[in-house]
Amino acid sequence: MKFSLINFFKNKILYQQAFIHRSYLNEHKNFNLKSNERLEFLGDAVLELIVSLYLFNKYPDYPEGKLTAIRAKFVQTQTLSLAAQRLDLGNNLKLSKGEKNANGNQNPSILANTFEALIGAIYQDQGFDKTYDFVLNNLLKPAQKLFADKLPKDYKSHLQEFVQSQGKKTPKYKVVESLGPDHNKTFKVAVLVKSNKIAEGTGKSKQQAEQQAAKTALAILRTKT
């Protein structure tokens, strides 16, 4: 493990409960803690909020449908189970003998649920900001690399960072032309830096045209540095 999870917690009981699979309690009727299912319920909601907030800020021009599709990649069972594996959560799980024999500590569904339970426990123990940081470092950043070729490129953000690194003001976008009927328009957008037009882009929406313009502008400006 990259760091000690149990030392991360103030309330060690919350940490312990995050790893109690319901099958364990079937064989340990007098165990003094409940299963992790309630924490999983809470963690699922907190995780969805954190991922939504992250994507909302990272992709300011994307519509709800596209954001929902991207979020689905981050919170799918496979992605969450990989995060759990990186944290070695499976070795901490309390499982029934049957689940152990069936390699339940390697089961993607159980690992994903445990990761969500851990999120719920961290939220209860540390609050939202610490939970956000944990998810960012242990799910979002690693998954961002994993999906690098599948996630949309935010060229506007890249262009803004590049231009500001050159000591210039934030680029501005201007619709130059719109063609076609309302239900099927094509937009042409120019991107300007210090009132100078750097490039143009076209698309079926203003946002799409702006991204295309930013992509072209980035290529132009990088050849000049």
Nearest CA-CA partner of 123 in 45, 58, 217, 27: 45
105 has which bridge partners?
none
Map residue 118 onto helix, strand or coil.
Answer: helix
Residue 144 · residue 151 · CB < 8 Å: yes
What is residue 11's DSSP assignment?
-
Residues 6 or more apart in contact with residue 139 via CB below 8 angstroms: 47, 51, 74, 79, 80, 83, 115
Task: Give the catalytic positions in this structure.
Answer: 44, 116
Task: Write out the DSSP string of 58-102.
Answer: H-TT--HHHHHHHHHHHHSHHHHHHHHHHTTGGGG-B--HHHHHT
Q: Is 121 left (phi over 0), alpha (psi -120 to 50) or beta?
A: alpha
What is the per-residue burial (b if ≥16 Cβ within 10 Å, else e) of 194-207?
Answer: eeeebbbbebeebb
